[in-house]
Structure 1
Amino acid sequence: MNDNVLIQEWTGPYDGVPAFDKISVEAIGPAVEEAMKLNLAEIEAIANNTEAPTFENTIVAMESSGKPLSRVFAYYGIMSANVSSPEFRDVQAELAPKLSDFRSKISQNEKLFKRIKTVYDASQQTPLEPQAQRVVDLTYKQFEMNGANLNAEQKKRYAEINKELSSLYTDFGNNILHDEENYITYLTEDQLGGLADGFIKSAAKIAADKGQTGKYAITNTRSSMDPFLTYSTDRELRKQVWENYYSRGDNGDEYDNNEIIAKILQLRKERVGLMGYTNYAEWRLQDRMAKTPENAMNLMLAVWPAAIARVEEEVEDMQTVANELGDNITIEPWDYRYYAEKVRKKKYDLDSDEVKQYLQLDKLREAMFFVAGELFNYNFTPVPEGTVPVFQEDVNVWEVTDKDSGKHIGLWYLDPYARQGKRSGAWATTYRSSTSFKGKTNVLASNNSNFVKPAPGEAVLVSWDDAVTFFHEFGHALHFFSSDVTYPTLNGGVRDYTEFQSQLLERWLSTDQVINNYLVHYKTGEPIPASLIEKIKKAATFNQGFDTTEYLASALIDMKIHLADPSNIDVDKFERETLDELGMPKELPMRHRTPHFGHVFSGEGYATAYYGYMWADVLTSDASEAFKEAEGGFYDKDVAEKLVNYLFAPRNAMDPADAYRKFRGRDAKIEALMRDRGFPIN
C-alpha cells in the first residue's frame, strides 16, 4: 500500500471520503507523479492486450482506469482553487509540464488508439446500446481531436506545444492571483462615505488580518470591487479601485500577461493547424451545440445591437441623475455602478441595500434545499461536525438523500467565504461523480463562493446578484447529484450546454414559494414586503444594457481573437481596435479584459466557448417559458419530471439538442431571451 495519504483509497463513512484534513504541499507533488505512473501502467496494459479489441477490454477498461489519479486530483483541485499558497504554486508550476507529458502519452498512444478505432469502426456497423455507443463515439472523437491521427513527427510537435501551453496557463493564472493579492486599497475612517456597515466591518477585519489595524481593505476581487464601486461616494477612490481591478495582468511589469496571451494564441493555432484546421475556434466548436464559430457569432451579433442601444439609454438616465445632483461630471466606467444604483432608486425606488437586509446566506441555502426537494425530491441533512474531514474550518457538509425512500445520494460541501489563497468568484466541483457500470457510486460535490466572512454573530447579507449566483452554482451541484449515467466519460459536459442547467435554476429564486418563506429580514424576521418584490421584478430588466454588453464584449473578443492571425499580434491593441469596430460604449469595460481572462487563458475550458453562457441563456429563457405555461408554474410536477429526466439526469449520455427536444417538444427560440431582457424583437 502506498504510504502517501493523498493516493490512498478513501475510507470512512459515506462510501469513503477525501482526507481533506491531511492535505499538504509536501505530499501533493509525489502523489501526482505516482498516480500518473499507475495510470500509465493501466493504459499500457490495455494497449498491449493480445486479445482482439472489444468494447469491454478496451473502452470499459479505460473507463475503469485512473482511480488513484482522480483521488489525487480532488486534493490538487482544492489546493489550487481553495487554499493556494506560494509554495503550492511552485509545485503547480513544476507539475504543469509533467501533467502535459502524461496526457500526451495517453492521447498519442498508437496501439491504444488503434484498439479504440477498431471498436469504433465495428460500432458504426453494429451499434451498441445507447450509452455504450455514446462513450465509444466521445472517446474516439476526443482522441481524434487530440491528434491521434497525426504522423510521428506531427505528434511530437503536438505534445511539445501542449507542454509549453500548460506552463503558460499556470503562469497566466498565477499572474492574475499576484495582482489580486498585491493591489489592495486601504481606506481611512474619512474615506468610507456611502459604504454599508456590514461592508465596513468586514473591510476592517480584512485590513486587521493583513496587519493594518484601524484601516479598511478593499481587495482586488469582484466581491470587494463591485459593492465599493456601487456605493462609495469618493469618485477618486472609485477610479483607483476600478483601475486596479481592470488592469490585472496588464501593468507592464513581470506579471503582465499580454506576451503570454500572444504566445498562447500562436501555439493554439499551430497545434490545430497540424490537424488541418484553419483556426482554433473551428477545431474547438465541432463537438459543441453551436458546431461552428459562425453559428456562435450569429447568435451574439443578433443580441449585440439591442444591448449597446440599451447602454446608451442607461447612460442618458445616469447623466440626468448626475446633473440633477449637481455632480459636474461626465459618466466614466468607474461611475457606472454608482449612478446606475441611483437610477435604480429613482426609477424603481429600489435600494439594493434594502433588498440585502432580506437576503441572508443561511436562509438562501435553506431555500435552495427547498427547491431541490420540490423538483428533485432531495433532502439535505447536516453531517455532524467531525464526521467528514474538511480542508478549512468554514466548510460545512450535508448528506443528500431521496425524500421518499431515504436512499443515500451523496454529500454536499459548502465553502462560502473569501480568504487569502482562494481564487475569486464562485464555482462548483465534484470529488466523486455518479456512475453505475461497476455498481452505483454516490456523489461528492461542492459549492464554493467568496462571500465576505462576517464579524462574529453577524448575518451574511448578500446582494440580489450574489443570491442569483448562489442558486446558479447550486444548479451545477444538482446536475452532479441527479446524474444517471453508466460510464465516467458521460459525466463530462458539452460546454455550451452545461451552463444551461445552472442558469435555469436561478429562476427559482424569484418564485413566490421562495420569496414568501425564505426572504426574511435578518433582524426582525419579517418577510420581504410584496411591494419590494414588485420593485425587484419590475427592475429585472434594469441594467440589462450593462450586463449584456460587458459579457458579450468578452465573448466576442474571445471568439475574434482566436479567428485572427496571431503571428505578430499586439493583444492590447487588438482588444482596443476590435471593441472600437464593434461600437463598444466607452462608459463600460468588458466583464473580463483579455489580460485577466482566466476562463480563456489559464486553461482551455472556455477558450472560444465563452459565448456558451449566452447559448445557454437562450435555452434557459425558452425552458422557463415551459414552466410559466404549465398549470403548476415553476413547481409543476410533470414539467419538473421532464426537467430531471431529460435536462439533468442524462449529462452527456445523449446529444444535448435531442435531450432539449425531448423536454420541450421543439428547439429553443431566441425570442424568449429577448423578452426576458426587455429587448425589442425584430
Structure 2
Amino acid sequence: MSILTTLFNTLHNTAPFSKIKNEDYLPAFIEGIALAKAEIDAIVQNEVIPTFENTIEALDYSGYILDRISSIFFNLNSAETNDEIQKIAQEVSPLLSDFSNDITLNAALFAKVKAVYDQKASLNLNPEQTTLLDKKYKSFSRNGANLSEDKKAKLREIDKELSKTSLKFGENALAETQAFQMHLTNKDDLAGLPEGTIEAARSLAQSQEKEGWIFTLDYPSYIPFVTYADSRELRKKMAIASGAKGFQNNEFDNQQNVLKIAKLRFDRAQLLGYATHAHFVLEERMAQSPEKVLSFSNDLLAKAKPAALKEFAELTAFAKELDGIEQLEKWDGAYYSEKLKQKLFDLDDEKLKPYFQLEKVLEGAFITAEKLFGLHFEATKAIDKYHEEVATYEVKDDNNNLVAVFYADFFPRKGKRNGAWMTSYKSQYIKDGSNERPHISIVCNFTKPTETKPSLLTFNEVTTLFHEFGHALHGILANTTYPSLSGTSVFWDFVELPSQIMENWCYEPEALSLFAHHYQTGEMIPMDLVEKIKESASFQEGMATMRQLSFGLLDMGWHGQDPSNITDIKAFETEQFAATQLYPEVAKNAMSTAFSHIFQGGYSSGYYSYKWAEVLDADAFEYFKEKGIFNKEVANKFKGNILSKGGTEPPMELYKRFRGQEPKPDALLRRAGLI
C-alpha cells in the first residue's frame, strides 16, 4: 500500500504533502485504478436485480481513493510543478483516460444503469437522486456506451490523444511564460513604474545575482509594466512577448496542438452523433445550444459595441492630445486607460494599494463570509502543506463544528501557472450517516511582500481574491449526498455565479470598511475614494464587455464548426475577431496558442459563461441591495438554494427558488452603464 492509497493519518484526513515523494505517484495511480476497477467489477457481478442503491449510488461512491490521488497530483501539477511531475502527468493521463473509458464503454455496467434508468418513473426518487440517475445515464450515453465496438475503440484513441495533447499545450504555455525575462539596467527605463513593482523587479534580479531589474510575464510583473511604464518601446516589447506565447515556431510552439485539439474534439462529437463539440458540450449547460450562446453573445455585443467604439474614440483622442500618438496599439491600451481614469476620477491603483494589504483583504473576505453565512476561519499550523507560502485554515460554523479545510496560496513562483483559480483536494458528500467535509483551495498570483512593504493589492486583485473566494464558498458550504453533485459540480455557465456575485461586496462602503485600512496608519479608506471606485466601476465597460465577448466568440469559432479546414491560426483568429476588433492586429501574436482556459482548462465551448453568469450575479446582487448587503434572510436563501445545493437540481430551478423569478439582463446593463 502506498502513502497515497491508505487513510491519511492526519488532522481531518488532509493530504500529507510533506511525506509524498514524486516516485509515490505512479504506483499509487496504478493501485488506485486497480481498487476502482474492483469496485466497478463488484457492481457488475452483483447478481441481485439492479437498483438505484446497488448500481447508481454504488457507482457514485466508487473510485474515491483514485479521485483523491488525482486531485492531489493534478493540483500540484498546476501550483507546484517540475519536470518530473510533468513527465509523470504524461504517463498517467493515458492510464486515466483508458480507465474512464473502461467504465463508460463497459456494456454490462451500462446495461445495469439503463435497467435502473428505464424504471425511473416508478422509483419514487427525490430531486437529488433523480439528477444523479440522469447524470449517470448520460455519462454513459454521451461518452460512447451506445456505440459499436469499432467506434468505441476509435473513441478510446481520441480520448488518449486529447488528454496528452492538452497536457502538452499547458506545459508549453507555462514554459513560454517562464522563458521570457526583460532585464533592464538603465534607471531611465523605469520611468512611470510604481515603487513596489520596481522593488519586486530588483529583488528578482538580485535573486539571480544580476544588476538592475528583471520583469517577467507573470501577472504581478507584467500588468503593472504595461499599465505604467512610460517607455512605449518597452511596453511594446512586453506586450508582444506575452501575445507570442506558443506562437514562435520554437520547441514550445502550440499551433499544431491547437489544431489537433480542435479537430479531435470535433471528431469525438461526430462519433457520438453531435454536429460539433459545442453541440455536445452545451447540451449539459444552461444555454443548451450554440445558437443560443451566439444569439446571447451577439445581443450583448449589439448593446456594448456603440459604447465600446465611443470609449475607444475618447481614448484615442486622449492619447493624441497627451503624447501625440496617432494610432493606439495594443501596448498603449492599459497605459492610456489608466491615465484617462486618473484624469476623470482622480483615482489610480497606487493611491488605493496602501489600503489593500493582502492579509487585511483576506480577513475582510472571511468577515464577509461570517456575516453572511456564519463561517469562522481559524488559521492552523497543524495541517500539512505543499509549499511554505501556503496558509491553512479550519472553517467552522457558529456551533464550532468543522465545515471545511481551506488552503490559500497567493504568490507567483517557478512551477506555478499564471492566473487565479479555486480547486478542491476532497469533495463533500454524505455516506453511512457521516457528512464528509471538503478540503478547498484558492491559488492566485499576487505581488509578494518586499523588504520594505507587505503584499499590497491593486483593486483588480482585490476583486480577484473575492472572486476565487466565492468559488471557495461554493465548495465549503456544499451539503449534498453524492460526491459527483457536490460543491462546484454544476453546469459550467452556473459555476461563475457564486464567484462573480462576491466581487460586488468590494464596491460597497459597508464591506470596504471591514478591511480597507491603510497598512501604515490604520486609517480607513476615505469615502471619496470609495465613491470614485464605484463611479469608475463602469469605466470603459463597453470595451471590457466587447473584449470578453471576443474571447467567447473565438471559443465558439474553434468548437462550433468543423475545424478541419483551418490551417492558419492567425488568419482564423483575425476572422473571428472581426466584429470585436478595436486595436490594429499584431502579426507576431496569437491568442489561441496560450488560451489555456479553452485548450487545457474546462472552458471549451464555455467561455461565454463568464458573461452569462454576470447576468445572474447582477440580478442576484440587486436582491441583496434591496434588502441590505448583509441581510441574513437573503444570505440564507442564497446559501440554502445555491451554495449548498451543488448540482443536485437544474440551475434555473435553484435560481428561481432563490430569487422568485428568472434573471433579467437589465441589472447587468444598468451596472455596466450600458442603459
Under TM normalisation by the shorter chain, which class is it?
over 0.9
With 480-489 and 324-333 compared, the bigger mean Cα shift is at: 324-333
Secondary structure at the residue paired with 1:94? Answer: helix
The number of residues matched between the two structures is 669
Aligned pair partner of 2:196 in 198, 206, 212 = 198
Show the counterpart of 1:271: 268
Partner of 2:411: 417
Aligned pair partner of 2:422 in 421, 428, 452: 428
Q: Is the 8 A contact 1:482 1:649 kept in 2?
A: yes
Tell me which of 563, 581, 606 is aligned to 1:584. Answer: 581
Mapped contact 2:185–2:213 kept (Cα < 8 A):
yes
Pick one of 331, 356, 375 that aligns with 1:378: 375
Corresponding position of 1:10: 8
Letter of the 1:156 counterpart: A
- Are 1:17 and 1:388, in contact at CA under 8 Å, matched by a contact in 2? yes
Residue type of the partner of 2:180? Answer: Y
Cα displacement (A) at 1:272: 1.2
Deviation, structure 1 residue 480: 0.8
Quick one: which of 313, 316, 320 aligns to 1:319?
316
- For the 8 Å contact 2:447–2:456, the answer to whether it is kept is no
1:587 CA drift (Å): 5.3
Query: Where do residues 31-110 of structure 1 align in structure 2 (5 Å cutoff)?
Result: 31-110=28-107
8 Å Cα contact 1:336-1:588 kept in structure 2: no
Query: Is this contact kept in 1: 2:10–2:16, CA < 8 A?
Result: no
| Cα deviation, residue 430, structure 1 | 1.1
Aligned partner of 2:353 in structure 1 is 356
- The match for 2:638 among 630, 640, 643 is 643
Alpha-carbon contact 1:308-1:585 (below 8 Å) kept: no
Which sections of structure 1, spanning at least 5 residues, go unmatched?
Answer: none
Name the structure 1 match of 2:222: 225
Superposition TM-score, scaled by structure 2 size: 0.96
2:364 corresponds to: 367
Q: Deviations over 1:373-424 (max 9, x none)?
A: 11110111111x2x11110001111111112x11111211111111000011
Q: Distance in 1 between matches of 2:299 and 2:415?
A: 40
Does the CA contact (< 8 Å) of 1:221 and 1:245 recur in 2?
no
Change (3 A) 1:437 1:588: farther
Identical amino acids, percent of aligned pairs: 35
Deviation at 1:616, TM superposition (A): 0.5
Q: What is the CA distance between 1:136 and its match in structure 2?
A: 0.9
Task: Return the alpha-carbon distance in structure 2 between the equivalents of residues 214 and 317 of structure 1.
Answer: 41
2:470 maps to a residue whose letter is: G
1:284 CA displacement = 0.7
Partner SS for 1:431 = strand
Aligned to 1:450, what secondary structure does the other structure show? Answer: coil
Q: State which of 103, 120, 124 in structure 2 corresponds to 1:123.
A: 120
Give the stretch that moved more between structures: 174-183 or 39-48.
39-48
Tell me the TM-score normalized by structure 1. 0.95
1:584 is paired with a residue whose SS is coil
Take 1:460 and 1:91, find their aligned partners in 2: how far apart are those partners? 34
Contact between 1:321 and 1:342, CA under 8 Å: does it hold in 2? no
1:555–1:610: 8 Å Cα contact kept in structure 2? yes
Indicate whether 1:238 and 2:238 are aligned: no
Corresponding position of 1:481: 476
Cα distance in structure 2, aligned partners of 1:52 and 1:540: 60
Q: Alpha carbons of 1:589 and 1:297: their partners in 2 closer, same or farther (altered >3 Å)?
A: farther
Would you say 1:664 and 2:655 are equivalent positions?
no
Q: Within 5 Å, which residues of 2 pair with 1:143-158? A: 143-158=140-155
The one of 17, 25, 30 equivalent to 1:28 is 25
> Structure 1 CA distance, aligned partners of 2:325 and 2:472?
48
d(CA) in 1 for partners of 2:320, 2:150: 66
Partner of 1:600: 598
Gaps of 5+ in 2: none
Pick the aligned partner of 2:392 from 385, 390, 397.
397
Letter in 2 for 1:510: Y
Distance 1:175 1:527, change over 3 A: same
Per-residue deviation at 1:104? Answer: 0.9
Shift in Å, 1:329: 4.0
Deviation at 1:348, TM superposition (A): 1.1
The answer (yes or no) to whether the contact 2:312–2:582 under 8 Å persists in 1 is no
| Distance (whole Å) between structure 2 residues aligned to residue 112 and residue 380 of structure 1 | 43
Q: Does residue 566 in structure 1 map to residue 563 in structure 2?
A: yes
Cα distance in 1 for residues equivalent to 2:60 and 2:626:
42
Give the Å deviation of 1:562. 1.4
- Preserved CA contact (<8 Å) 1:436 1:487: yes
What CA distance in whole angstroms lies between the structure 2 residues aligned with 1:326 and 1:100?
A: 55
Residue 287 and residue 390 in structure 1: after superposition, are their counterparts in 2 closer, same or farther (change >3 A)? same
C-alpha separation in 1, matches of 2:253 and 2:438? 40
Question: Which position in structure 2 is the counterpart of 1:676?
Answer: 671
RMSD: 1.7
Work out the CA distance in 2 between the residues paired with 1:148 and 1:239: 52
2:161 counterpart residue number: 164
8 Å contact kept, 1:520–1:526: yes
Post-superposition offset of 1:437: 2.8
User: How far apart, CA to CA, are the structure 2 residues paired with 1:165 and 1:353?
Assistant: 44
Partner of residue 546, structure 1: 543
- The one-character-per-residue Cα deviations of 1:270-290 (angstroms, maximum 9, x if unpaired) are 111112111111111011100
